[in-house]
Structure 1
Amino acid sequence: MDRNTWRGADIALFAVSAAVGLSYLVLKAWVEDIRLLDFPFIWWAGDLWAAGRNPYGPDFQTIDAGVWSGYAYVRDKWFFYPPHWWAIARPAALLPLEQAALLWRLFTAACYLGGSLVVARAVHRTLGAMSRSRLGALLLFACASSATAIVLSIGQTTGILFLGLCLFCAAWLERSGPAMTAALVLLALKPNFGLAFWAFAIASGLCWGSIGAAVLMGTAIGLPALLPFGPVAVLRAYFRQLGHFGDLVANSPANTTGLGNLLERAGGMALSPTMLALAGAAAAAALGWWAGRADRRDPAVQAAIPGLLLALSLLCVSMHVYDATLLAPLIVLCLPAPAGLQLATGLGCLIVFRADNLAELSGIADGRAGIFPSSLLVSWGYLGLAVAGAAILAAALRRRPAPQALERGAE
């Protein structure tokens, strides 16, 4: 294929992928009339804070069907989000629930789109030219995966987590302190997942300024939730609420993804979400310790590090199928990898892309999972992508240029 033909095909693939992805995102976020399941819990917490009440105490149990006005409501009454969600929940409660829910869906859509562009820009600037079709694949995965559809339909929080993850990858590649600070604050909004990235940053020894700034920022925006009721009392109540996380059917091993699902399926070993989060943090800390001592002048190695961190975190931590959109940065982070490993990464992402449809068509749906039957398929995908991520890092280390070449490239 000559250069002009390839360029035309590249543009066409980008145009089709981006158009399909963005159209699907707009349809799910704006056009469809959806009654959310999870966002109303955040809205209700904001409403309690506005009334001077503590959502981590008995007041949260006072929620009743009248508050929801037709919104789906099927789970127990626990608020599992940390205090600095005040900065999101309190403004949301200024609006009626229906209007706030629409804005939340639009904000989530903007996070998927903005996060994709942030990580693509960082890869383009640090790793060199990236084909338009690869950017199109990133946008298609982030905007039109079955995981994205679920997030928008139930009002989950994966969108803002996706933005934080993309900022983290970009900050690592571009060595940006402000971006790393923002990333750590956003990732801490979901502590079981964000803990791995904090552990990586601390163990690397390269991000102390960003870590300190993120601690100060997170504390500052959480103070309105802490001070009125006493910081110690609020934190104790919050951790008591977290103790009920594993009690929900939706958070059982069969309905979650990663190692917990695979181990329970293989040998009946049930690990708690806390143990799995700590396992993910330990793996991330080990990788961070090594990354902090690795040669930062080789862009291929530096791109492979956050890719492996992401794959390991999703494999270890107890998550859900709707969090699979977090894989999207792997599509661009694997740019410097050998063609075979890029293909393996692409196939892993393709399996997860429309996991619900694929699980139904292939018969790999887990009959034990009454809520998320594609959890098993997604878990196998995570395992394969973690292996591919390790292979990509190993290949980058083997192909690393001689020290003299790296010094010339750094000049």
Structure 2
Amino acid sequence: MIPPVTQRLRPYIPFLIVLVIEAPLLWPSDLFLGDWHNFWYAGHLVATGRSPYEVANYAGLEGPFHELEVERTSLPWPYPPWTGLFLAPFGALPLEVGLVAMHATLVVLGLAAILQLARQVRLGGAWTGALALTIAAASQPFVLATRTAHFDAALLSGVLFLAAGWQRESAWRFALGASLLALKPHLFVLLVVVTLVAVVARRRWRLLIAATAALATLAAVGIAVSPMPAALADAQSWLRIDIGRVATVWAAGAMIAPDLWGPAGLALLAIPALLAVRALRASPPARSALFVFVATALSLVIVPYVHSYDHFVLLPLVWLVVRAAEDRHGWPRKAMLVAAVVVGVVLPWFAYFADFNARSEGPSGMVPLVTLLLLPAVVGTATVALSVRRATVGEDAPDPERPRPLRS
């Protein structure tokens, strides 16, 4: 007889082993690898009362910071003012201390987001739980984002809080989710539209008021601290980027038909979009929070600027595939578990290295599309796992799903 505590910890053993193995990747020896110095310096400017949007603040930089001076002459700081508030505490610290603190924070945020997902989309089997956690730890977006300073873990938490807020009609969760997603708002254009339509259709005014108040406060403080020059309202200056440098369906379309990348991208999008519509008709916002995860995936496909590390927010859909496999037996169960491993680990890593060979992020642009192809397998499970429970006035609804006993 296995003690209950030991039984609960068993799924985390492979997860921890993978984290130990990949620790050198998550925490490289070079503190200037990726965008660490870029984000630290932006936070430093905000912390010292200067603006990351002013090109003059990058003049005369030396060493690894010199590339920022060159870059800012053609590409302004491409984040909204409130993102600088998140970076300012690290920029207020000395360089090396600030970089270490930022890195440690991103590692903690990444692990916290994965554990938040484990709590929100509960798995009943010890083996399937271990598999899902291992997929999360070994995923290319988790490793790359943590390695190169990108805060996609906060975005995953934002998606999860938004979904939980919708499920439980919890205003604070919904507002917190919206605030976290605002750190990289350009990734979630379609999600904003779909969520707003759902809120109005279901008349969930508490959620709308809470999210609006939180975002307005965040924007007001951010703009007061680092006002964005009016010239940056013309985003053409920083969206004028080679289409092959972004992991979108348009980059994938450009690999197929360089001169007709738009129609080619739409052709690639057709079937996943159709499956998404059918999934949301079967499990609409009135019944579940699946629309949050589906709209997130579609947003990543169509926005003009996204990289493969941003695909970390696709993890809930992969997790739902594992959850759906628990309700099946025989070869369908095995096939779904294999599909989860392929889409969650094998495909993103394969596409990442294929990007180098193709000199384009088009291969990575296919990852959200392939993930959406799995929607028919998870609709029924999502309706249960992400079911909407109405809250009583002034209270959050109970947890949408009680813990299921672990099965060996």
**TM-score normalised per structure 2:** 0.73
Q: How many residues align?
A: 364
Partners of 1:290 and 1:153 in 2: CA distance: 39
Partners of 1:286 and 1:351 in 2: CA distance: 21
Q: Percent of aligned positions with the same letter in both sequences? A: 20
* RMSD over aligned Cα atoms: 4.2
Give the 3-state SS of the residue equivalent to 2:31 in structure 1.
coil
Alignment of 1:62-73 (within 5 A): 62=59, 64-66=61-63, 68=65
Q: 1:324 is matched with which residue: 294, 311, 329?
A: 311
Q: Is the 8 A contact 2:61 2:69 kept in 1?
A: no
Q: Is the 8 A contact 2:162 2:174 kept in 1?
A: yes
Partners of 1:149 and 1:293 in 2: CA distance: 33
Gapped runs of 5+ residues in structure 2? 384-399, 402-408
Q: Which whole-Å deviations, capped at 9, do the CAs of 1:150-177 have from their partners, x for residues lacking one?
A: 2222212222212212222333333332
Q: Could you say which residue in structure 2 is the equivalent of 1:223?
A: 220
Q: Could you say which residue in structure 2 is the equivalent of 1:315?
A: 301
Look up the equivalent residue of 1:321 and give its one-letter code: S
Q: Is the 8 A contact 2:136 2:344 kept in 1?
A: no
Partners of 1:352 and 1:254 in 2: CA distance: 23
Q: 2:237 is matched with which residue: 232, 239, 244?
A: 244
Alignment of 1:239-388 (within 5 A): 239-240=233-234, 242-248=235-241, 252-268=242-258, 269-270=260-261, 295-296=286-287, 302=288, 304-317=290-303, 318-334=305-321, 335-336=323-324, 339=328, 340=332, 343-344=335-336, 347=339, 349-355=341-347, 358-359=350-351, 365=355, 367-369=357-359, 372=361, 375-376=362-363, 378-388=364-374
Partners of 1:327 and 1:167 in 2: CA distance: 14
Alignment of 1:7-406 (within 5 A): 14-24=11-21, 26-30=23-27, 32-62=29-59, 64-66=61-63, 68=65, 76-77=71-72, 78-124=76-122, 130-205=124-199, 206=202, 207-227=204-224, 234=228, 236-240=230-234, 242-248=235-241, 252-268=242-258, 269-270=260-261, 295-296=286-287, 302=288, 304-317=290-303, 318-334=305-321, 335-336=323-324, 339=328, 340=332, 343-344=335-336, 347=339, 349-355=341-347, 358-359=350-351, 365=355, 367-369=357-359, 372=361, 375-376=362-363, 378-390=364-376, 392-393=378-379
Give the 3-state SS of the residue equivalent to 2:366 in structure 1.
helix
Partners of 1:56 and 1:35 in 2: CA distance: 21
Look up the equivalent residue of 1:244 and give its one-letter code: S
Give the 3-state SS of the residue equivalent to 1:328 in structure 2.
helix
Partners of 2:83 and 2:9 in 1: CA distance: 41
Give the 3-state SS of the residue equivalent to 1:137 in structure 2.
helix
Look up the equivalent residue of 2:65 and give its one-letter code: W
Deviation, 1:352, is 4.9
Partners of 1:267 and 1:43 in 2: CA distance: 39
Q: Is the 8 A contact 2:85 2:222 kept in 1?
A: no
Partners of 1:172 and 1:346 in 2: CA distance: 30
Q: 1:257 to 1:289 in 2, by over 3 A?
A: same
Partners of 1:110 and 1:32 in 2: CA distance: 18
Partners of 2:318 and 2:93 in 1: CA distance: 38
Q: Which whole-Å deviations, capped at 9, do the CAs of 1:301-338 have from their partners, x for residues lacking one?
A: x2643443333233333421222322221233342476
Gapped runs of 5+ residues in structure 1? 297-301, 398-408
Between the two structures, name the one with larger relative contact order (CA 8 Å, sep ≥ 6). 2
Partners of 1:289 and 1:63 in 2: CA distance: 53
Look up the equivalent residue of 1:121 and give its one-letter code: R
**TM-score normalised per structure 1:** 0.72
